[in-house]
Amino acid sequence: MHDDVSLTLGRVRRVLTERIRPAVHGPRLPMEVRAHRLPGEPVPPDQGLGLEHDPYEVGTPWGPAWSTTWFRLRGEIPQQWAGQPVEALIDLGFDVNMPGFQCEALVYLPDGTPVKSLNPRNQWVRVSDTAVGGEAVELHLEAAANPVLLDYHPFLPTQEGDVQTSSPKPLYTTRHMDLAVFHPEVFELASDLTVLLELVEQLPEGARRGRILTALDAALDRVDLQRIPETASAGRAELVEVLQAPASASAHTISAIGHAHIDSAWLWPVRETIRKVARTSSSMTELIDATDDFLYGMSSAQQYAWLKEHRPEVFARVKQAVQEGRFVPLGGMWVESDTTMPSGESLVRQFLHGQRFFESEFGIRCRGVWLPDSFGYSPALPQLMRRAGFEWFFTQKISWNQVNRFPHHSFDWEGIDGSRVFTHFPPMDTYNAQLSGEELARADRQFREHRTSTSSVAPTGWGDGGGGTTREMVAAARRVADLEGSPKVRWEHPDDFFSRARAELPEPPVWVGELYLELHRATLTSQHGTKRGNRRTEHLLVAAELWSTLAAVRTGADYPYEALETLWETVLLHQFHDILPGTSIAWVHREAVETYARVEDEARKIIDGALDMLAGSGTDHLVANAAPAPARLHGIELPADTLTAPGSSSAPAVELRRDGEDLLLENSLVRIRLDDAGHVVSAVELATGREAIVAGERANVLRLHQDFPNMWDAWDVDRFYRNTVEVIDGVDELTAEVDAAGAAVVTVTRSFGSSTVTQRLTLEPESRMLRIEQETDWHEAEKFLKAVFPLQVWATETIAETQFGVQRRPTHTNTSWEAAKFETSMHRFVLVEEEDFGVALVNDSIYGFDVTRDADGEVTTTVGLSLLRAPRFPDPETDQGLQHHCLGLVVGADVTSATVEASALNIPPVEIAGDAQTAARLGRPLAQVEGPAVLRSVVKLAADRSGDVVVRVYESAGRRSHAELTLDPALDAEAARAVSLLEEETDDVPELTVDSQAGRLSWPIRPFEVTTVRIPQA
Ligand SMILES: [Zn+2]
């Protein structure tokens, strides 16, 4: 016989698609359908179920973008179906090629019990396992007409991304809403054939492939295509032998976990995520009930909290399944956050709020951090994960790198402080696996640790919007559990996978430093209003905690636990990896900016209330400095964490004079020279005479680049943006004056394109920082705005602030790894320095920068701060309108002084009236921090509401040193303990030396170490 492989494969493909899969469901009967289209936003299910319905004819259009339609379906089971399984088959107008991105529905029984969801790849609802003839069926659908914003026309601007601009035209047309008999044996035959077909497509020539091909032909010979239900068993019998052949002894093992990566907002608003979570969780508990070994994992305490609040019936089912160990809470975080931009304190709260929720609701803690999709991972994370009690870390996003292939799949990841955490990337390169033959073979082929390690993870199910695992995937998993030629698959808790993988790798390879994603670099800049809101609220909430703690301990005031928790959880939600990065639809960012304004307002109210308590009544001028380092106001130094009555300044006013066309601004520390266009052409540190600006160059120059990436507009900036540049150096108006506080202020207005920009450059007395406040009325499309500083500094590396420390990156591009980092992240500053001189650029709301190394006789360093973009997808109006930035050029800076200046810029002093003596008594710090570069991160009351004070400090400069805390007598120094980030006793923390007489705690502190101390009140 001639061996024609393609003939057999073609036969199986056609018969499966055109005959066997359609025959899984037998005779059909249309249901009687009525519908109610809601005029506005969704309503709770109890209201939806009580709505009046109008007649609806299947096949007519329904659902303008973002609208909800409640369908009522009724039918009666025919007598001749009695005894058989019956399902409802509902096609809302799905496109099966796009699971997750379109219309969806949750199915309810008439009594309000949620059953499961309807998604493009999940269009059935079991009505009865053993039908009774004549039985009435009634189902209600809460159908959401979420528009398709990606895939048909990827990255084209669309108005459908906000309910305020979307079209009223219906988007979907139902195809059928039927009752049908379900044929289990045909379903099993389809699953057998699918798994063997996909396997044989991956197998090399050889005996195994031959056997399977023969079996496939034999099976199809036995199936009568006119009588498939009657002959399916005979077909399956021909496949038993090839399906029973066991996997080889060294087969790779794949640890599958059911999954549906549900973004907490993205191409849909937050309110839709609440429903997506309810839909997917209903389907997954249904699938858990229908199977023996399937496990489903869901991250994000926030998503469980939404269920609890909005869909308590679904939450009850989930809770039950969690208790049974089948529904697995993952990640221990409040949401799957971005990790490059949130502050250190925010990341701690992601863990604290996440783990506390899982503990209180389910009595469990997550052992690992689960972030499959965030856009790069901060090198501060390993320490924070370890200090929060986590044992492992999971992602896969680095497989999206444009250039470099990551060398490991299972490895130890080492952070800036030297902490290591065991990490796994699934070699399948997806968080939406279907367990197809191709995926299984790919995982086996690509896995980098085969020499010592036997297994990898596969998050299995439709994600990026929901849906989750299907019964087809469960059927495939059962067949590839132990199948010759295939990796072995088993449903497994990731904890079990990580324990095994760690044991197999006693000396895992080590990756040091950030996990930089060589893609999506523009997420550090897009949607500036969202980023600014994050930065402001992070600082205000820490200030609110500081003053509230002082007020609680010193005056007995109530600590606003509820309010602070709620505000933090709002900020944490918005750090989700499509909100803070600026990659959601217009609706999400419009709401985010409004929400941040509300959080700011409420945080300020808490701050004002606490300061009122601490200030007493009076008319003395008081200043509250909530920065963890001394700050200045009008030339007067203010101590850290203190409410004081400052004296008056004796510092001389800044000298402002003309020198030809130039302006000179000079105080006791620096002399700044501006040219006639308001650019910085010289900045000299007077003590050393060092010049910060490259001779003949201009700094603080605004550069406008064309910015039209090849795809992923809000996410990506491609390297070629640098090829086109327009320098914005025209001047509409320039004024200069010395203000009442003795500061020199130069204001410059420029216009370009359809936009204008005003910069206010201020040099204060006794300050080495030129402060630049910028207001941009931004009306550009597909442009990238940078503020550029050519610095006369021969820097081998940039030093950028990250959570609880700094990270260093080479300025050269020797290897493809460095070259790929042409846009990188920072927090509040980036510093470049030589042996004895450095220049820092500090900011109040910027996260991205680039650096170029220039050589013309000597090496200099040009830093470009990324201010604004104007991508048109998914939000066509990204960043349009008024935008604010504040930054500073610090001349003669090191890590410590840059941190101090950046802190003060981000949480400026607050001036109030009160009584100076009361303030002196009540407004001094509860815990005074000492140590060369040791800084307070937070002072708060413990989350368990015991009244204990929690003080978190960190070593900020990368120096091995000694930390010291001097405590107020109101605190019981003797009982102080170093604790975990979750504020609990643990072994993995330094031993404190206590001098109870002096109320002093001290301990050795490692470079970038974070220490949390918990102190009961005396
Ligand atoms: Zn995502």
43: exposed, middle or buried (Cβ count in 10 Å: 0-12, 13-18, 19+)? middle
**d(C-alpha 412, C-alpha 423), whole Å:** 6
Question: Which tokens in the block code for residue 682?
Answer: 């010289």
Distance 596 CA to ligand 1 centre (A): 22
Please provide residue 692's backbone torsions phi and psi, each rounded to the nearest 5 degrees: -95, -20
Ordered strands of the 368-370 beta sheet? 368-370, 392-394, 420-424, 410-414, 510-512
- What is the CB neighbour count within 10 angstroms for residue 29? 15
C-alpha 854/C-alpha 794 separation (Å) is: 9
Asked if residues 603 and 570 have their Cβ atoms less than 8 Å apart, the reply is no
**875 and 585 in contact (C-beta within 8 Å)?**
yes
Distance from chain centroid for Cα 85: 43
Distance, in Å, from the CA atom of 260 to the CA atom of 1014, rounded to the nearest integer, reads 38
pTM > 0.85: yes or no: yes
DSSP state of 102: S
* d(CA 266, ligand 1 centre) in Å: 8
DSSP character at residue 119: B
Q: Using one digit for the tens of pLDDT, what is the confidence trace for 409-438?
A: 999 999 999 999 999 999 999 999 999 999
**Ligand 1 centroid – CA 443 distance (Å):** 21
Calculate how far, in angstroms, residue 712's C-alpha sits from the geometric centre of ligand 1: 14
652, 657, 659, 663: CA torsion to nearest 10:
100
pLDDT at residue 152 greater than cutoff 90:
no
Q: How far is the CA of 578 from the centre of ligand 1 (A)?
A: 7
Distance (angstroms) between ligand 1 centre and the Cα of 123 equals 24
Distance 283 CA to ligand 1 centre (A): 20
Stretch 922-938: mean pLDDT? 94
Backbone conformation region of residue 271, classed left if phi is above 0, alpha if psi is from -120 to 50, else beta: alpha
Instruction: Collect all residues with Cβ–Cβ distance below 8 Å to 795 and sequence separation of at least 6.
Output: 811, 832, 833, 834, 851, 853, 859, 861
| C-alpha of residue 10 to centroid of ligand 1, in Å | 36
Peptide bond into 509 cis (omega under 30): no
Q: CA of 274: how far to CAs of 106, 262, 605, 998, in Å? A: 12, 10, 29, 52
Q: Identify any residues that bridge with 633 across adjacent strands, giving them in sequence order.
A: 636
Q: How far is the CA of 378 from the centre of ligand 1 (A)?
A: 17
Ligand 1 centre to CA of 888 (Å) is 34
The H-or-E segment that residue 381 falls in is helix 381-387
Residues, CB-to-ion distance under 5 Å, ligand 1: 263, 373
Find the largest Cα–Cα distance for the chain: 104
Q: At CA 179, angle to CA 104 and CA 24, rounded to 5?
A: 85
Tell me if 389 sits within 8 A of 364, measured CB to CB.
Answer: no
**Residue 465: per-residue pLDDT:** 78
pLDDT level of residue 584 (50, 70, 90 thresholds): very high
Ligand 1 centroid to residue 376 C-alpha, Å: 12
Residue with tokens 């858990």: 288
Assess whether pLDDT exceeds 80 at residue 815.
yes
User: CA distances (Å), 232 to each of 197, 713, 733, 743, 1016, in order?
Assistant: 17, 50, 83, 87, 71
In angstroms, what is the span from residue 233 Cα to ligand 1's centroid?
42
DSSP bridge pairs for 830: 800, 841
Mean pLDDT of the region 987-998: 93
Distances (CA, A) of 802 to 127, 336, 339, 708: 54, 19, 10, 29
Measure the CA–CA gap between 163 and 590, rounded to whole angstroms: 11
697-709: average pLDDT: 98
Residue 320 neighbours by CB under 8 Å, 6+ apart:
285
Task: Compute, in angstroms, the gap from residue 265 CA to the centroid of ligand 1.
Answer: 9
Residue 534 CA to ligand 1 centre (angstroms):
19
As a whole number of angstroms, the distance between CA 446 and CA 456 comes to: 11
* Residue 930: band (very low, low, confident or very high) from pLDDT cuts 50, 70, 90: confident
Q: How far is the CA of 371 from the centre of ligand 1 (A)?
A: 9
Distance 336 CA to ligand 1 centre (A): 8
Q: What is the pLDDT of residues 830-854, one digit of tens each?
A: 999 999 999 999 999 999 999 999 9
Q: Cα of 464 to ligand 1 centre, how many Å?
A: 6
CA dihedral in degrees (726, 728, 730, 734; nearest 10)? -170
Alpha carbon of 463 to ligand 1 centroid (Å):
9
* Share in percent of the chain as helix, strand, coil (round to 5): 30, 30, 40
Helix, strand or coil for residue 939?
strand
CB-hemisphere CA count at 13 Å for 410? 23
Q: How far is the CA of 310 from the centre of ligand 1 (A)?
A: 22
Q: Which two tokens stand for residue 782?
A: 């597909």
pLDDT for residue 557: 98
pLDDT of residue 781: 98
Cα–ligand 1 centroid distance for 270 (angstroms):
13
- The alpha carbon of 503 and the centre of ligand 1 are apart by a number of angstroms equal to 30
How much of the chain exceeds pLDDT 90, in percent?
Answer: 96
Residue 63 has pLDDT above 70, yes or no: yes
* HEC string for 16-45: HHHHHHHHHEEEEEECEEEEEECCCCCCCH
Spacing, Cα 262 to ligand 1 middle (Å)? 7
> What's the 959 CA to ligand 1 centre distance in angstroms?
37
How confident is the model over 984-989, as a mean pLDDT? 92
The model's confidence at residue 151, banded by pLDDT at 50, 70 and 90, is: confident
Q: Residue 433 C-alpha to ligand 1 middle, in angstroms?
A: 14
Is 70 exceeded by the pLDDT of residue 114?
Answer: yes
Cα of 438 to ligand 1 centre, how many Å? 23
Q: What is the pLDDT of residue 988?
A: 86
CA of 562 to the centre of ligand 1 (A): 29
Alpha-carbon distance 1013 to 983, whole Å? 8
Compute φ and ψ for 543, nearest 5 degrees: -65, -40
Mean pLDDT along residues 707-727: 97
Please tell me the number of Cα atoms within 13 Å of 549 on its side-chain side.
32
Distance 819 CA to ligand 1 centre (A): 26
Whether the per-residue pLDDT at 352 is higher than 80: the answer is yes
| Token pair recorded at residue 355 | 């783990």
pLDDT value of position 530: 98
Cα angle 457, 447, 480 (rounded to 5 degrees) comes to: 55
Mean per-residue pLDDT over the chain, rounded: 97
pLDDT at 582 over 80: yes
Summarize the confidence of residues 74-97 as an average pLDDT: 97
Average pLDDT over residues 72-101: 95
CA-to-CA distance for 479 and 468, rounded, in angstroms? 20
Give me the phi and psi of 766, to 5 degrees please: 60, 25
Q: Give the burial class of 741: count Cβ atoms within 10 A of its Cβ; 0-12 exposed, 13-18 middle, 19 or more buried.
A: middle
- Specify the pLDDT at position 310: 97
Centre of ligand 1 from the C-alpha of residue 445, in Å:
26
Distances (CA, A) of 914 to 32, 547, 638, 907, 989: 73, 15, 17, 21, 41
pLDDT at 855: 87
> How far is ligand 1, taken at its centre, from the CA of residue 263, in Å?
5
Tell how far the Cα of 694 is from the centroid of ligand 1, in angstroms. Answer: 43
pLDDT of residue 859: 94
CA 439 to ligand 1 centroid distance, Å = 20
983 Cα: distance to centroid of ligand 1 (angstroms): 30
CA of 91 to the centre of ligand 1 (A): 26
Residue 153 predicted with pLDDT over 80: no
Start-to-end Cα distance in the chain: 92
Ordered DSSP codes for 261-309: ---SSSSS-HHHHHHHHHHHHHHHHHHHHH-SS--EEEE-HHHHHHHHH
**Residue 757: per-residue pLDDT:** 98
CA distance 853 to 851: 7
The model's confidence at residue 931, banded by pLDDT at 50, 70 and 90, is confident
**Ligand 1 centroid to residue 338 C-alpha, Å:** 10
Write the secondary structure of 596-619 as one string of H (helix), E (strand) and C (coil): HHHHHHHHHHHHHHHHHHHHCCCC
DSSP character string of 424-482: E--TT--SSB---HHHHHHHHHH-TTTTT--EEEEEESB-SS--B--HHHHHHHHHTSS
Which residues, at least 6 apart from 480, have a Cβ–Cβ distance to it below 8 Å?
Answer: 195, 199, 435, 440, 486, 487, 488, 489
Cβ atoms of 236 and 220 within 8 Å: the answer is no
Confidence of residue 654 (pLDDT cuts 50, 70, 90): very high
How many angstroms does the Cα of residue 237 sit away from the middle of ligand 1? 43
Could you tell me the distance, in angstroms and rounded to a whole number, from the CA of residue 261 to the centre of ligand 1? 6
Task: Tell me the CA–centroid distance for residue 332 and ligand 1, in Å.
Answer: 17
CA of residue 808 to ligand 1 center, whole Å: 28
667: its two tokens: 């105080």
Residue given tokens 């939450």 in the structure block: 315
- Encode pLDDT of 274-322 as tens digits: 999 999 999 999 999 999 999 999 999 999 999 999 999 999 999 999 9
Question: Distance from the CA of 887 to the center of ligand 1, in angstroms?
Answer: 31
Question: How far does the centroid of ligand 1 lie from the alpha carbon of residue 465, in Å?
Answer: 9
**Which tokens belong to 225?**
């295509």
Whether pLDDT at 1 is above 70: no
CA of 375 to the centre of ligand 1 (A): 9
